[in-house]
Structure 1
Amino acid sequence: MRDGRDGRDDGGGGVAASGRLSAAELGAELGERATLVQFSSAFCQPCRATRRTLAEVAAMVEGVAHVEIDAEAHLELVRTLEIARTPTVLVVDASGRIVRRAVGQPRRADVIAALGDAV
């Protein structure tokens, strides 16, 4: 996963203010150790491959969850997090803090390495 970036602080509430994602914002519980958050779109071919890769890693690493979010159905969150392309993957620690961010289809080894920042 290429480029790490924390959420931005805009002084308001929610993700932008705290740099953290909650289970309510994700629509799923956070993993005990980390969560791989994937923003996808319906006709995105690399999103399908990314889904498989992230699901495999989440199954391999105890306490890691994979959450896929339909970017088109969650435009407010996409704008807040400045998601410009799909797939975009966020690595989130157990407290919801965004510790890494990558755009494009990641390699399994890169995802595993990025989890090291979160666990």
Structure 2
Amino acid sequence: MYSSLFCVPCQATRKVLAEVQRLLPWLPVEELDVAAHPDRAEEAGIRSTPTILVLAGDHLVLRATGVPTAPQVLQAVARAMDASRDADADAGAGSAAPGPVDPA
């Protein structure tokens, strides 16, 4: 999650992500303050906070700005897991990994 210090919606997003982590304790969640890490925020194209990214390896599964619901995050995690499994299966078959998943 990309956040900022005085971002009220970021506080709500932290609670949602904490709930998701309670359900999926193995799930890594990283938070970056855009003021402390402006280069990384710019590189990721972050324009507002909170913004969450759900990735399957290097492939973007979900990019959401604002406060997501826990079910939205859980669905994105499931899609990321599916994409990761598909990439592993393709790699095992000698095929190229699929491109980024359209979050729409």
TM-score by length of 2: 0.72
Higher relative contact order (CA 8 A, sep 6+): 1
Matches within 5 A, 1:60-71: 60-71=23-34
Find the counterpart in structure 2 of residue 47 from structure 1. 10
Find the counterpart in structure 1 of residue 60 from structure 2. 98
Matches within 5 A, 1:76-115: 76-93=39-56, 95-115=57-77
Identity of aligned residues (%): 38
The structure where helix makes up a greater share of residues is 2
Supply the RMSD in Å over aligned alpha carbons: 1.3
Q: Residue type of the partner of 1:107?
A: T
Output the CA distance in 1 between the equivalents of 2:71 and 2:78. 11
The structure that has the greater radius of gyration is: 2
Structure 1 gaps of 5+ residues are 1-37
Output the CA distance in 2 between the equivalents of 1:43 and 1:62. 27
Q: Residue type of the partner of 2:69?
A: R
The structure where strand makes up a greater share of residues is 1
Output the CA distance in 2 between the equivalents of 1:82 and 1:55. 24
Structure 2 gaps of 5+ residues are 82-104
Please state how far the C-alpha of 1:62 moved relative to its aligned partner.
Answer: 4.4
